[in-house]
Amino acid sequence: MNCVLGPDNILYDTLLFRVIYDGVGNVLPCWLSYVVAGIAMMMILVNGVLLGAGLFSWVERRLIGRFHNRIGPNRWGPFGSLQPLADLVKLLVKEDLTPRGADRIVFTIVPVAMLAPVVLVMAVVPFAKDTALANLNVGVLYILAVTSITSIAIFMAGWASDNRYAMFGASRGVAVLISYEVPVVMSLLGVVLVAGSMSLNDIISAQTIPFLLVQPLAFFVFFAGTSAELNRTPFDLAEAESEIIAGYHIEYSGVKFALIQAAEFGAVLTSSAVMVTLFLSGWSGPASNYLGWAWFLMKIGVLAFIFSWIRATFPRLRIDQLLAFAWKFLLPLSIINLFATALEVYFLRDGAGNLDTSDLWIMAGINFGVAFACLLVFGTLIKEKVRPAGPVTGATLTPGEAD
């Protein structure tokens, strides 16, 4: 009995899935081999994301150590690379506390609810040629829908912990996530317009030049919005260390804490992966038929480095300034970008509705001008808003008279 996957199946494009399915299908019934292949893919996905999260936690700690003029973890393994493993063991054997007033069920679900969207996002991201687990035709929509689960998880954590700091963190986190969802969606619409599809595979193949050049404003908005959704400085209000200690996950310890941390570090990687796919032409590059995964990982690494760099440098914004930044700065920018892109696509497309590379270059030129002008104008506007009138106080040194 030989099972063959039809091309109409969303998993048809995944080469590994088909290999496992065919191989197992020789011994098992088709439905069972489908399940087996699916579980195998899921194992790869979950473990890949968790391993990546562990690795990234080490890389980021080393990097931030360097930014701090420190060495960073260097004790276990070459350059301390086994540090995440040591942390994991430590957290696993720690007592897993649940506060007395906590809502036990919700409290326990939270770590899983936080990790799930991070893993789920990776399901549609192609990390080399034909390696996306599911080639959804609504991939962008799926990513946006799945990442929204995080806001519910954060609110659950804050509510279930029975802690006022956690409640602060949760309300901040939800406010930030809901506000930043809007400009992020708007900025992605520009990309979808240019690519003419919501499937991530199509978006990659449409990127004859990276959309970073074609959609600079959208990239800026998406990057800022994503770092807000990831709760990283300068937008890390939901877990502001110096204000509300750890925010929504203040009461978590042991393995639950490990899962939440894994979700946070993993989220940086998956967000970078999404950004690479949408703006940096994904796995494509020289010899991408064979080295696609290398290009993909390299681009993720560059973005993750930028995330770490920003995290190590900037102070935190206040909640009202953060929301103002979303609604008064990022949202207008993304709307301008959407309109500009829509007009350009309308005038530049050919009869079949397609754009060729020269059209993309023209769009890149126009959009860079638009982005520069917009950032200049809005930057000045916001600067005047946030700086009180008058000269910078304290600009004088007055010699005191001794008497």
* Identity of the residue, 75 or 164, whose beta carbon is nearer to another protein in the bound complex: 164
Q: What would you report as the CA-atom Rg of the chain, rounded to the nearest whole angstrom?
A: 24
Q: How far apart are CA 43 and CA 155, in angstroms?
A: 28
Supply the minimum distance, in Å, between the C-beta of residue 389 and another protein: 10
Closest by CA to 249, choosing from 49, 87, 99, is 99
Interacting residue with another protein among 196, 254, 321, 378 (CB under 8 A): 321
Q: Give the binding range for another protein (CB under 8 A) out of 84-92, 234-242, 263-271, 295-303.
A: 234-242
CA distance 199 to 203: 6
* C-beta closer to another protein: residue 357 or 396: 396
Q: Are 155 and 174 spatial neighbours (Cβ–Cβ below 8 Å)?
A: yes
Q: Does 2 bind another protein (CB under 8 A)?
A: no
Binds another protein by CB under 8 A, chosen from 21, 107, 165, 223:
165
State the CB neighbour count (10 A cutoff) for residue 361. 14
Q: Is 90 exposed, middle or buried (0-12, 13-18, 19+ CB in 10 A)?
A: exposed
How far is the C-alpha of 350 from the C-alpha of 78, rounded, in Å?
56
320 binds another protein (CB under 8 A): yes
| Residues whose CB is less than 8 angstroms from the CB of residue 326 and which lie 6 or more positions away in sequence, other chains included | 176, 179, 180, 182, 183, 225, 228
For residue 329, the 8-state DSSP code is I
Which 49-68 positions form the footprint of another protein (CB under 8 A)?
Answer: 64, 67-68
Contact between 340 and 302 under an 8 Å Cβ cutoff? The reply is no
| Three-point CA angle 95, 99, 101, nearest 5° | 160
Question: Running DSSP on this structure, what letter comes out for residue 254?
Answer: H
- Binds another protein (CB under 8 A): choice among 311, 326, 331, 364: 311
Contact status: 1 vs another protein (CB under 8 A): no
Q: At its nearest, how many Å lie between another protein and the CB of residue 315?
A: 4
Shortest distance in whole angstroms from residue 12 CB to another protein: 45
Q: Provide the residue count of the chain.
A: 403
Smallest distance, another protein to C-beta of residue 319, A: 6
**Is residue 234 close enough to count as binding another protein by CB under 8 A?**
yes
Q: Is residue 170 a contact point for another protein (CB under 8 A)?
A: no
Minimum Å gap between C-beta 350 and another protein is 44
Nearer of residues 237 and 370 to another protein, judged by Cβ: 237
Question: Which of residues 78, 315, 351, 353 is near another protein by CB under 8 A?
Answer: 315
Is residue 307 near another protein by the rule CB under 8 A?
A: no
- Least Cβ distance, residue 393 to another protein (angstroms): 3
Three-state secondary structure readout of 21-44 = HHHHHCCCCHHHHHHHHHHHHHHH
User: Where in 378-397 is the site for another protein (CB under 8 A)?
Assistant: 383, 386-388, 393-394, 396-397
Sole window of 162-170, 176-184, 222-230, 362-370 interacting with another protein (rule: CB under 8 A): 162-170
Q: Is 375 in the site for another protein (CB under 8 A)?
A: no
Please state the closest distance from residue 328 (CB atom) to another protein, in A: 13
Burial of 268 (0-12, 13-18, 19+ CB in 10 A): buried
| 314 makes contact with another protein (CB under 8 A) | yes
Q: Are 41 and 14 in contact (CB under 8 A)?
A: yes
Minimum distance between the CB of residue 241 and another protein, rounded to whole angstroms? 6
Q: Which of 189, 312, 348, 362 forms a contact with another protein (CB under 8 A)?
A: 312
Q: What one-letter code names the amino acid at 74? A: N
Binding positions for another protein, rule: CB under 8 A: 64, 67-70, 164-165, 167-168, 171-172, 233-234, 236-237, 240-245, 311-321, 383, 386-388, 393-394, 396-403
